[in-house]
Amino acid sequence: MKRTFMITILLCAVLQVFAQQKVIRLDTKDLSLIMTVTENNELLFQHFGNKITEDAPFIKKKSYRRADYGTDPQMYSTAGGRNFREPALRITHANGDLNTELIYIAHQQLTFKDKNVNQTVVKLKDKSNRLYVNLIFKTFQKENVITQNVEIKNEEDKEIVLHNYYSTYLPIKANGYYLNSFNGSWAREMFLEETKLTHGIKSIESKKNVRTTHTENPSFLLSLNAPLNENYGEVIAGALAWSGNYKLNFELDEFNVLNISAGINPYASQYHLKPHNIFFTPDMVLTYSNTGAGGASRNLHDWARNYQIYDPMTIRPTLLNSWEGAYFKFDEKTLTDMMDSAADMGLEMFVLDDGWFGNNYPRNGTSAGLGDWQVNKAKLPRGINYLANYAVKKGLKFGIWLEPEMVNPQSDIAKKHPDWIVKNRGGEATTMRQQWLLDLSNPQVQDFVFSVFDETMKLSPDISYIKWDANRHVEAPGSTFLSADKQSHFWIEYVRGLYKVYERIRQKYPKVIVQACSSGGGRVEYGALKYHQEIWTSDNTDVLSRVFIQYGTNLIYPALVSGSHVSAVPNHQTNLVTPLKFRFDMAMTGRLGMELQPKDMSTHDQEFAKMAIANYKQIRDIVMYGDLYRINSPYDGTGFYSLMYADKKKKRAVVFGFCINYQGRTLTPKFRLNGLDPNKNYRLKELNVTKSNFWGDEETFSGKYLINEGINPQLQKVFDSGVYSIEEIEDGKPSKNNEDPCDAEGK
């Protein structure tokens, strides 16, 4: 599988040619990234887009820019020499030289045992200093994805200082650039914004280091020549796999070339690299689509499920989470009653959220106890094992909440280890949600965080799921572990420390599901997803907000990872009252869960929940592993949000439609079902209703009809919604092999 290819490299070809012009191409099934080496051994970018198979024109081709203006399209641009744009690499060399000019030495192309993946390493060296840079590209053939990271090796006599060390640099040329990026804040994450780029630099960045993805996300969809469209047009999409500070720059120059640099944020992060040491940048993930945003998302989703997300093939269980139903106020009975209801409704797991720990400083609110991970004896006298056992007897898995990177000042642990707290070296640590951050650059803290996880797992053999929270970010940075001259390493060493802990956890607990919660929406990025099976998309469970949050999230990250819960009304964050069916229909577009007090539900609502949960289990493999075809965007002004997931063989699909805004009773949606096979016949069945009022319910249609004419269910009033399952029909019957949950990935 995906990670084993790392150790099973098969050397296919090694190319090493000096001082002659050549073309280096990275091809996937449909794409090419092409670079050339000039006769002066400069490495220049040439093309990223649809596949081009000839090499010759790239040798002759004149640049879009005048070389004597110092603007050659370097494949990895540097500070110094003749470059005056934002450089991908900026170094102060051992001798004080501020210039770096990279020349090509050699390149190697390797194929992994998994034939779908090739690696190209382009080796570069500074003209005057013993500084070596390897550009490492991996091409994923059938996903049409290319990843890039960089190795920077210091062979100079003394330490060098890295200022900029981005993972990728792409100088691309089109007739206009429409940047689609994400903005928001806590409980309002991943709102999509399109900006037509004008000259100068537009940057997307985080300087928070923890919870980096509330206000922006290290990903983008860049539509070329025209605004972003779901089905048409050229789109370059990218995402950085890094859980710390990031910066993505889009610099439009006087030649109308757009220079994209993306990677770790240089902000306050000068890195001192000792002789013979190597600095590795994180992976930047890139794709290109000529079928609009839809194609770009599907490429990223396929790559993520096949190569990045932890444990992709484990079906994520449906669950009841205790937070919005009980908050900090519970005893054993509250929880066992919730488990009874969860089991009755057909859910598969119960997750005990915050509030189960702390004795000297009981965790009965956000002000105390965080960090003291001993079971609160007053609330839970029979401990966690009793509860986990109870769950298992009810046929449920059991999960539990942790926030191991942080502590309340009011806790035994904070009083015992003041030196573990992140703080301005001269002063006081700041609190946020009344808590302090632990300094994960410190190996002792790494041991502690690992032990919190480990000891919690030991509370019961029946724990299957950990909700890993992180409810603050870095302020007043400072580490008592790092020396005074290495304080600027803090941002990077924190993330490396986190990854070290994750590695240890994954070695010991390969199967436990670990959700990246991070206040909801705070760690939505591919660095964290290498270790987590899922993310908590937002603390905002309001369904109308979720339409936008999940639409945005799923532009880049697949539904497999997006936890999506039905909560009570009026919604605790927004006060909005919406029908239960609308809430269930929407939650079913991700990993379905519930987060409310079941005993406050009417019998009628509990019966509805039972039906919806049973229906979800029939279609969730398509949601988790299928291809996403968005139909109406919540931003398109129609008042409808609609989407379809289709399995890879186009035998089964599921369509979701929501009326999110009253447009007029005379208006009916038209959902064209792109993504089906025009040559198959399909039967539609409406789910989550006792009696459908859709004229096409249980009817058979040709794929051609559904693609070209589509369906028009009557969803006219605000919060009307519908779910339609679609199944291939052969000779009047459902076709064979329609039920295999792993079918979608061909595994």
The binding site for ligand GLA (CB under 6 A) comprises 323, 353-354, 401, 469, 471, 517, 519-520, 536, 539
Instruction: Look up residue 52 and give its two tokens.
Output: 């081009």
Tell the smallest beta-carbon distance from residue 117 to ligand GLA (Å): 35
Cα(71)–Cα(361) distance, integer angstroms: 61
Tell the smallest beta-carbon distance from residue 566 to ligand GLA (Å): 14
Tell the smallest beta-carbon distance from residue 519 to ligand GLA (Å): 5
Contact call for residues 282 and 527 (beta carbons, < 8 A): yes
Place of tokens 């997300």: 309
Tell the smallest beta-carbon distance from residue 330 to ligand GLA (Å): 13
Distances in Å between the Cα of 719 and the Cα atoms of 209, 224, 249, 645 are 38, 35, 39, 21
Closer to ligand GLA by CB, 520 or 639: give it. Answer: 520
Tell the smallest beta-carbon distance from residue 152 to ligand GLA (Å): 37
Closer to ligand GLA by CB, 380 or 628: give it. Answer: 380
Tell the smallest beta-carbon distance from residue 539 to ligand GLA (Å): 5
Contact call for residues 565 and 605 (beta carbons, < 8 A): no
Closer to ligand GLA by CB, 209 or 519: give it. Answer: 519
Closer to ligand GLA by CB, 354 or 686: give it. Answer: 354
Half-sphere CA count of 686, side-chain side, radius 13 A: 19
Closer to ligand GLA by CB, 247 or 565: give it. Answer: 565
543 alpha carbon, distance to own chain's centre: 21
Contact call for residues 145 and 235 (beta carbons, < 8 A): no
Closer to ligand GLA by CB, 165 or 401: give it. Answer: 401
| Complete DSSP assignment for 267-332 | TT--EEE-TT-EEEPPEEEEEEESBHHHHHHHHHHHHIIIIISSSTTSPPPPEEESHHHHTT---H
Distances in Å between the Cα of 55 and the Cα atoms of 5, 257, 295, 324, 693 are 30, 22, 26, 60, 59
State the amino acid at position 502 in one-letter form: Y
E-strand ranges in 87-216 read: 89-92, 102-112, 117-126, 131-140, 145-154, 160-165, 168-173, 177-185, 188-196, 200-206
Cα(58)–Cα(63) distance, integer angstroms: 10
Which secondary-structure segment (H or E) carries 386?
helix 383-393
Tell the smallest beta-carbon distance from residue 179 to ligand GLA (Å): 29
Q: Which of 392, 390, 373 is nearest to 317 (CA)?
A: 392
Tell the smallest beta-carbon distance from residue 270 to ligand GLA (Å): 33
Tell the smallest beta-carbon distance from residue 482 to ligand GLA (Å): 29
Tell the smallest beta-carbon distance from residue 463 to ligand GLA (Å): 16
Closer to ligand GLA by CB, 353 or 534: give it. Answer: 353
Q: Which residue is nearest to ligand GLA (CB)?
A: 354
Closer to ligand GLA by CB, 273 or 351: give it. Answer: 351
Tell the smallest beta-carbon distance from residue 101 to ligand GLA (Å): 48
Closer to ligand GLA by CB, 298 or 472: give it. Answer: 472
- What are phi and psi for residue 223, nearest 5 degrees? -90, 130
Distances in Å between the Cα of 482 and the Cα atoms of 158, 372, 486, 495 are 20, 25, 6, 14
Closer to ligand GLA by CB, 181 or 541: give it. Answer: 541
Tell the smallest beta-carbon distance from residue 189 to ligand GLA (Å): 11
Closer to ligand GLA by CB, 402 or 744: give it. Answer: 402
Closer to ligand GLA by CB, 38 or 367: give it. Answer: 367
Instruction: Look up residue 481 and give its two tokens.
Output: 């572990």
| Complete DSSP assignment for 560-608 | GGEEEEEE-SS-TTT-----HHHHHHHHTTSEEEEES-GGGS-HHHHHH
Identify the DSSP state of 521: T
Closer to ligand GLA by CB, 224 or 529: give it. Answer: 529
Instruction: Look up residue 98 and give its two tokens.
Output: 């501020």
Tell the smallest beta-carbon distance from residue 656 to ligand GLA (Å): 24
For residue 570, cis peptide bond before it (omega within 30 degrees of 0): yes
Coil/strand/helix, residue 133: strand
